[in-house]
Amino acid sequence: MSTTTTIERPIISAEELLTAWQGHRNLTRKVIEAFPEKDMFTFSVGGMRPFADLIKEIITVSAVGLKQIVTGVITPFEDAMPQIKEKADLLQAWDEASEQINVYFPQISAEKFHEDINLFGEYKFPAIENIQYFIDNEIHHRAQAYVYLRALGIEPPFFWDRY
């Protein structure tokens, strides 16, 4: 069964995943900076949510979700959504969430990464799958903001600019 052994070997470490995640967060922060404040809370394409609402979701999903994984204290998603109405406050909440991620992520034990957690009382998956979902969800909504920016005539940051 050498093929199976080959496939099943570990290839991404916790540290590498955190680095990749924070790289994505750096890029998302550049997208927030590039977005005009007047459009951030109102502009939409096809009836979708404004960019600020997407960012508030990402802040909640990531930082609050990670805290739930570490502490095991589960609260509903809606209760955790920040009330933010200005661009500067959105950037500050973003930076605070990035710091919290750096604090909480290293506290997750090897066992806990592969244990189920019922995140926000709704999403029961192994912690590692929930975390991968956080990152995928951020890439997904940020990409939608790329289209919003293009529709507004603004060039978004390069996709590879994670620094």
Residues that bind a copy of itself (CB under 8 A): 3, 6-15, 17-18, 20, 24, 45-48, 105-106, 109-110, 113, 128, 132-133, 136-137, 139-144, 146-153, 159-160
CB 17, min distance to a copy of itself, A: 6
CB 83, min distance to a copy of itself, A: 25
89 vs 159 by CB, closer to a copy of itself: 159
CB 137, min distance to a copy of itself, A: 7
Amino acid at 14: A
CA distance 13 to 94: 25
Contacts of 49 (CB under 8 A, 6+ apart): none
